[in-house]
Amino acid sequence: MSDLARVLEQAIKEQVALFVAESREALVEVAAGKPVRAVLLEPMLQRVTLVLAKRIVTHLAEQLDGGKVRNGHACQCGGSLLYKVTRPRAWGSMVGELAFSRAYFRCGKCKATQYPLDVVWGLRALEAPTKRREYLTPAAGWRLAVLNAVLSYGQGCKQLQQLTGLRVSAMLAWRNVQRVGRRSGRSPALPYPPPGPAI
Ligand SMILES: [Zn+2]
């Protein structure tokens, strides 16, 4: 069995064993006429999904050497983007926070920079500056913007947390709406968030 399969099996076993033990305990209590204590199925499945997604993505990035298939890439200026370093970072995605290492390239001629793996995985546009820090993946950013179209910034963040386990601030949510609005060509119709603590 591969290392990945072993790690995934272990992660599933841990969650399943805990869930079975808690469910059995609750069933025994019900059988004894005690009040029902809910052991919720969906949060457990969500936890397993998040753990698996995290492990799988780390493994995929390792398999692809962080996106470094060559030491040099063709640059649009006619020069070459050269491999410099491999850097880790975290993304807030629809399946929780994902962290992996990606190869970083830079052109000596025009100073353009690139993380090819981010581009190929659809996390960042080819032309987007690599210095721009965006925590949410495009999919998670869009989902949060949709939530914020119908809910307050704070409530939208809470909903996103329930869906994905991600904790984001109302300020990040506001910036996200501006960004999604720019990308989709529509001006954001949402007001600036009221002042308040980060969620
Ligand atoms: Zn260049």
The Å distance, Cα 68 to ligand 1 centre, comes to 18
Q: How many residues does the chain have?
A: 199
The whole-number pLDDT of residue 126 equals 83
The Å distance, Cα 129 to ligand 1 centre, comes to 13
The Å distance, Cα 73 to ligand 1 centre, comes to 10
The model's confidence at residue 1, banded by pLDDT at 50, 70 and 90, is low
Dump pLDDT digits (tens) for 149-173.
999 999 999 999 988 999 999 999 9
The whole-number pLDDT of residue 199 equals 42
The whole-number pLDDT of residue 193 equals 43
8 Å CB contact between 79 and 110: yes
Q: Is the pLDDT of residue 183 over 90?
A: no
The Å distance, Cα 147 to ligand 1 centre, comes to 39
CA distance 134 to 154: 19
Dump pLDDT digits (tens) for 39-53.
999 888 888 888 899
The Å distance, Cα 125 to ligand 1 centre, comes to 16
**For residue 168, what are the CA distances in angstroms to 38, 85, 101, 133, 157?**
28, 29, 22, 14, 6
Domain ranges of the chain: 3-63, 65-120, 138-184
